[in-house]
Homo-oligomer: A and B are copies of this chain.
Amino acid sequence: MEARIDSIKQKLHAQGYKLTPQREATVRVLLENEADHLSAEDVFMLVRDKAPEIGLATVYRTLELLTEMHIVEKINFGDGVARYDLRADSDKHHHHHLICINCGSMSEIKEDWLGPLEEKLEQEYGFQVLDHRLDFQGVCAKCQSEQATN
């Protein structure tokens, strides 16, 4: 935990930014909720517990800064709010989402299934892939068994 904070602090310093108390509180919230996909509002409410005087605009500005630094990833599931994920320490992110259209739950798959596809893309289309995003919509196992019960 502290090591990751330090690592982020150094990344910011390398670009001339400071890890202010507000920014640190925001980063800690992201670290403590790494499994979730928090919206800016979510982050704001959680940060408030640690730093009650913080403003929503600062949270937005921090999330934008972290996105630019590739420390977090801004994702959009189509519900009108942006969500933010801490990136793994590796530069590329390799996780996919399973979104249940019944209960709304979202789970992650950490495997990378797209390596061969990316090679194909570069060869056949001349497109240099830097990142990708893969989401599946469907019905999760839990909802399937509940539907079977009814």
B113 and A117 contacting across the interface, CB-CB below 8 Å: yes
B130 and A133 contacting across the interface, CB-CB below 8 Å: no
Q: Which residues of B contact A75 (CB under 8 A)?
A: 78
In the complex this chain forms, how many copies of it are found? Answer: 2
| Interchain CA distance A140-B129 in the complex, whole Å | 9
Interface size on A, as a range, is: 20 to 34
| Interchain CA distance A114-B98 in the complex, whole Å | 14
A133 and B132 contacting across the interface, CB-CB below 8 Å: no
Chain B nearest Cβ from A83, distance in angstroms: 10
Apart from A128-B140, A133-B137, 12 more pairs, CB < 8 Å: A76-B76, A76-B77, A118-B136, A126-B140, A127-B139, A127-B140, A130-B138, A130-B139, A132-B137, A133-B133, A133-B134, A134-B134
